[in-house]
Amino acid sequence: MINLAFIFHMHQPYYKNLLTQESDLPWVRLHGVKDYLDMVQILDKFPKIKQTFNVVPSLFEQIEDYNRGLVKDKFSEFTRKPAAELTGADKDFILQNFFSINREKVIATFPRYYELFLKKQRRGEFSVQDYLDLQVYFNLAWIDPSFRRNIPELKRVADKERFFNEEDKLLILEKQLLILKEIIPAYRLYKDNNQIGISVTPYYHPILPLLYSTNIAKEANKKTVLPKNEFSYPLDAKKQIEDAVEFYRQRFGSSPKGMWPSEEAVSEHILPFIIQSGIKWIITDEAILFKSLKIKKRDTTLLYQPHLLKRKDGELNIVFRDRNLSDLIGFNYHGMKETEAVNNFMGHLENINKAFKNRDILLTIAMDGENAWEFFRNDGHDFLGLFYQRISESDFVKTVTIDEYLESNPAQNKIKRLSAGSWIYGEFGKWIGNSEKVKYWEWLRDARKALEKTRAAQEMAIKQMQILEGSDWFWWAGEDPDGSFDRLFRLHLKNFYKLIDQEAPSYLNP
């Protein structure tokens, strides 16, 4: 029997300006209404399907901010402004940003939205009604298709197709906020009903090994270029873990059993902190398994089972994702017809089952839970519906949460030393590999040193430092297509210096 464990990772970086409560980017709100709720609710149709959802506390914190009205969303403000009152600068912003969704799988499914897209491409002149329709469509298209169909008010607006009015626009924003309010209660409900497990990531999504020491990057890839001065703050890594565990306790009424280390980045050094926090299992990529066991050839016998990290601080189970199968869903199947894609995946499962001669194994699919679906037709519902149906009907596959599987199948095979690396090529090059990324680490070290010297470190300054330790700034450094993450990282750094009453270094100016 194949015990199939899905783990969907839900994450957004921390966008909000702590000093102004403003967010220049809308992705918590927009992914909130497109991905986080429906991915759980679809399981109502498939009671045999169990899954694990991994939540990042900084994402849920920002959802809660929306629920309490504690964030001013720049994109929402540009939507609320009456189309007849838009300035030239407002219009430029809307034209530049309100087509930010998949063109083929989303924009092209709305004839009027696609018409506006083509008009922009040929630099046609937009009327007041054009701008109003664009304001509506950007926000409507980001709402999951199931909500556009099943919420009567949204369906009424969608059915109009064009010539929207200002009331239509405000209604869409109102419904978005109502959808956001359902997300966290839904996760609690499905968890309490034992259909999903919930794991957690360190609070602001940092690369834990690099917080411990940037030198650890050399363990994963000897050619890595390091900062001039080592960034090494092990207790920051420990705090990010502990704060995440406490956040989980407050929202879900119990301690988390599982942790998805940010970007599945692990090393031997961070294990004591995870074990001490009470976490029972972690997930990482298969490349780390084979590096740790010094095996050059992929061995699914070792991959399809949990392993044990027995250390002086205690024991920790570790599971490894099947990268190939995870990536098929995340990056390949959107280009195929749903039946073809599902048949392909089920064919892989049949071959695996035959190879293991019906023995019980644990096969883990771990992937981004939000970004893949806009590349699928109907936001992935057609694929997932058929996929879950086929799995539900299968006599050789059952879905499990990692929590329940480990209760009856504790790990037996021990790993003496866990190799350092992440789910990106088994190393850390995505966060410390080029000159811009190295520069960010040097800037972060300067700021962290300044925090050490501050006599009375404010709680807000510490929070801002934790935000700055998040992985996304380093991921995009030197690779940022429009510079938005660079601007936000500099903003967070400038705010940090304000919070400790110091002048920000001149290098933070653009």
pLDDT surpassing 70 at residue 128: yes
| Gap between the Cα atoms of 423 and 444, Å rounded | 24
Q: Residue 150: is it exposed, middle or buried by C-beta count within 10 angstroms (0-12/13-18/19+)? A: exposed
Confidence grade of residue 436 (pLDDT, cut at 50, 70, 90) = very high
User: Distance between CA atoms of 169 and 128, rounded to whole angstroms?
Assistant: 14
With a cut of 80, say whether residue 240 has pLDDT above it: yes
Distance of CA 220 to the CA centre of its chain: 23
Handedness of CA 51, 56, 57, 62 (dihedral sign): negative
Q: How confident is the model at residue 456 (pLDDT cuts 50, 70, 90)?
A: low
Residue-wise over 396-413: b if at least 16 C-beta within 10 A, else e? ebbbbbbbbbbeebebee
Report whether 421 contacts 290 (CB < 8 A).
no
Alpha-carbon distance of 432 to 106, in angstroms, equals: 34
Strands 307-311 and 314-321: antiparallel
Cβ proximity of 6 and 387 under 8 Å: no
| Cα-based angle 371, 237, 498 (whole degrees, multiple of 5) | 85
Each residue's pLDDT tens digit, 392-431: 999 999 999 999 999 999 999 999 999 999 999 999 999 9
Q: Is the pLDDT of residue 433 over 90?
A: no
Give the SS3 label for residue 264.
Answer: helix
d(CA 345, CA 348) in angstroms, rounded, equals: 5
Q: How many helices (H) and strands (E) does the chain have?
A: 25, 12
Q: Quote the DSSP letter at residue 470.
A: B
Say whether 197 sits in a helix, a strand or coil: strand
Q: Find the farthest-apart pair of alpha carbons in the chain and give their distance in angstroms, rounded.
A: 69
Are the CB atoms for 480 and 490 separated by under 8 Å? no
Residue 109 DSSP class: G
State if pTM tops 0.95.
yes
CA atoms of 102 and 88, how far apart (whole Å): 26
Beta-bridge mates of residue 284: 320
Query: What is the percent of the chain with per-residue pLDDT over 70, rounded to a whole number?
Result: 100
Give me the mean pLDDT over the 187-216 stretch.
98
Percent of the chain topping pLDDT 90: 98
List of residues 6+ apart from 333 with CB closer than 8 A: 341, 344, 345, 376, 383
Per-residue pLDDT band for 194 (boundaries 50, 70, 90) equals: very high
Task: Please name the amino acid found at residue 472.
Answer: D
Query: How confident is the model at residue 358, as a pLDDT?
Result: 78
Q: Please report which residue ranges of 394-483 form alpha helices under DSSP H.
A: 402-408, 429-432, 435-453, 459-468, 471-476
Q: Which residues lie below 8 Å from residue 491, measured CB to CB, with a gap of 6+?
A: 17
CA–CA separation, 91 and 82 (whole Å): 11
Q: C-alpha 302: how far from its chain's center? A: 28
Q: Are the C-beta atoms of 283 and 321 separated by less than 8 Å?
A: yes
As a whole number of angstroms, the distance between CA 14 and CA 22 comes to 11
Q: Answer yes or no: are the C-beta atoms of 388 and 45 closer than 8 Å.
A: yes
How far is 191 from 176, CA to CA, in rounded Å? 24
Q: Which residues in 165-175 are b (16+ Cβ under 10 Å) and which e?
A: eeebbebbbeb
Is residue 5 within 8 A of residue 199, CB to CB? The reply is no
The pLDDT value recorded for residue 180 is: 98
Confidence band for 498, pLDDT divided at 50, 70 and 90: very high
Q: Is the pLDDT of residue 499 over 90?
A: yes
> Mind giving me the DSSP string for 202-263?
-TT-B-HHHHH-GGGHHHH-TTPPPPSS----HHHHHHHHHHHHHHHHHHHSS---EE--GG
Q: For the chain, first and last CA: distance in Å?
A: 57
142 DSSP assignment = T
Look at the chain and count its residues. 510
* Residue 457 pLDDT greater than 80, yes or no: no
